[in-house]
């Protein structure tokens, strides 16, 4: 897969992600692919089929990475636009108050003009451009009544606050422009990677495409085998927990013979189980809908859009991007994954699916595909980054 992915020593993943049995399965997968793929360069200088497969995979991975950056930029742009709108509304309201204060001062000036008292000073005051100019006219202030002074204070306050809010709005508009530029860049990157992948595939002959399909089939068969192995391990762990619970049931204090309380089953949290069922039911109902980058439903989804929508259906608000979703819960070993957990992929955490048990998940894989049920090892055991329990 992606050339930038860090290599790892089998059996040394954090949080218990990698197990010796699965590491062995991964090596078996590599051996099968090596036997099936055409590794040697062709005589005409064209890239080998294996190289094409890797390049296409890299391009789709890069497109998905750019999609998550697009999602983040889109979210930031929306937040910034909302802030700008709020500030502009505030500025408009403060400007109206400033105008009202100015009119009130004008009425005092008109009254002074009719009585012939202090016309020049008041006129000069009304032409002041800044709050400081107003304060500097002490002779005017000295001749004003208490109500007039209150009007001046109000005018000065409104002018100062309006100028401050206008500055904030200007800065927010600049930030909004930058966010919009980031959004355009991310969008262009996604489109370029997808175009490159399609063009690369278009150059393949029918025979080469058939061979690629055979490679993919072998890969998915191995992924299914790994999922079955994980399911077996999880079943054994569950059986051991149930056996421990039965032994503890004979004690009056809920502990084993050593007097130490046993760990509850991961499925003991009925509240989480209920929410997870709702999330999975929603995800399952989306199977067959197309992957569209940047989409959050209801007609199409990208990977994080699907998981966000699924957990929203269960009453849990997840962030928009994979980068944030991976931090929206508790990380658990893959061997202890429960239905409803989020499975993240790759070192840059750019893909996610929702675990449904038995080593399987529901996810929106990549452009050109549809939401589907698939082994969490669909891209090899090493691609699994972490498992997160979101609620």
Cα separation values, 242 from 93, 254, 336, Å: 66, 14, 15
Which residues are designated catalytic? 303, 351, 363
How far is residue 272's CA from residue 263's CA, in Å, rounded to a whole number? 17
Dihedral sign computed on CA atoms, order 30, 35, 40, 43: negative
Report which of 307, 318, 321, 296 is spatially closest to residue 356, judged by C-alpha positions. 307
Best CA proximity match to 385, nearest among 55, 61, 54:
61
Q: If DSSP codes are grouped into helix, strand and coil, which group holds residue 94?
A: helix
**Alpha carbon distance 126, 338 (integer Å):** 72
Please tell me the distance from the alpha carbon of residue 51 to that of residue 219, in angstroms, as a whole number: 16
User: What are the CB-based long-range contacts (under 8 Å, 24+) for 202-208?
Assistant: 204/52, 208/49, 208/52
Q: Map tokens 């690629």 to a residue.
A: 212
What's the rounded Cα separation, in Å, for the pair 126 and 133? 10
DSSP structure class, residue 44: T
d(CA 9, CA 308): 32
Asked if residue 319 lies in contact with residue 325, where contact means CB atoms within 8 angstroms, the answer is yes
Contact status, residue 149 vs residue 101, Cβ threshold 8 Å: no
Label residue 290 exposed, middle or buried (CB < 10 Å: 0-12, 13-18, 19+): middle
Whether the link from the prior residue into 383 is cis, omega within 30° of 0, is no
Strand partners, 345: 351, 384
By the 8 A CB rule, do 314 and 278 touch? yes
């Amino acid at each position: 897969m992606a050339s930038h992915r860090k290599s790892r020593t089998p059996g040394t993943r954090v949080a218990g992600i990698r197990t010796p049995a699965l590491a062995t399965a991964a090596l078996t997968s590599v051996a099968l692919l090596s036997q099936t793929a055409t590794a040697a360069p062709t005589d005409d200088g064209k890239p080998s089929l294996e190289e094409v497969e890797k390049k296409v995979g890299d391009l789709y991975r890069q497109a998905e990475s750019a999609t998550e950056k697009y999602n983040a930029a889109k979210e930031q742009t929306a937040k910034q636009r909302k802030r700008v709108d709020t500030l502009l509304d505030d500025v408009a309201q403060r400007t109206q108050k400033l105008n009202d204060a100015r009119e009130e001062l004008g009425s005092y000036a008109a009254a002074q003009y009719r009585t012939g008292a202090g016309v020049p000073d008041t006129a000069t005051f009304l032409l002041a451009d800044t709050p400081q100019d107003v304060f500097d006219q002490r002779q005017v202030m000295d001749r004003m009544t208490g109500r007039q002074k209150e009007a001046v204070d109000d005018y000065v306050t409104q002018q100062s606050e309006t100028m401050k809010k206008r500055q904030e709005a200007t800065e927010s508009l600049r930030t909004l422009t930058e966010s919009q530029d980031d959004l355009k860049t991310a969008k262009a990157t996604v489109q370029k990677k997808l175009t490159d992948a399609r063009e690369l595939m278009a150059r393949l002959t029918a025979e080469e495409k058939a061979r690629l399909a055979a490679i993919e089939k072998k890969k998915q068969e191995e992924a299914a085998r790994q999922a079955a192995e994980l399911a077996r391990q999880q079943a054994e762990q569950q059986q051991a927990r149930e056996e421990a619970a039965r032994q503890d049931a004979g004690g009056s204090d809920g502990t084993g013979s050593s007097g130490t309380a046993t760990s509850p089953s991961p499925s003991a949290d009925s509240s989480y189980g209920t929410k997870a069922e709702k999330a999975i039911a929603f995800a399952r109902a989306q199977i067959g809908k197309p992957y569209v980058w940047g989409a959050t439903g209801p007609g199409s989804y990208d990977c994080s859009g699907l998981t966000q929508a699924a957990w929203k259906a269960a009453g849990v608000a997840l962030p928009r991007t994979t980068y944030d979703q991976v931090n929206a819960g508790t990380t658990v070993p893959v061997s202890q994954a429960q239905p409803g957990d989020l499975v993240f992929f790759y070192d840059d955490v750019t893909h996610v699916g929702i675990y449904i048990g038995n080593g399987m998940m529901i996810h929106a894989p990549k452009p050109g595909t549809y939401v589907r049920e698939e082994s969490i090892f669909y891209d090899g055991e090493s691609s699994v980054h972490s498992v997160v329990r979101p609620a």
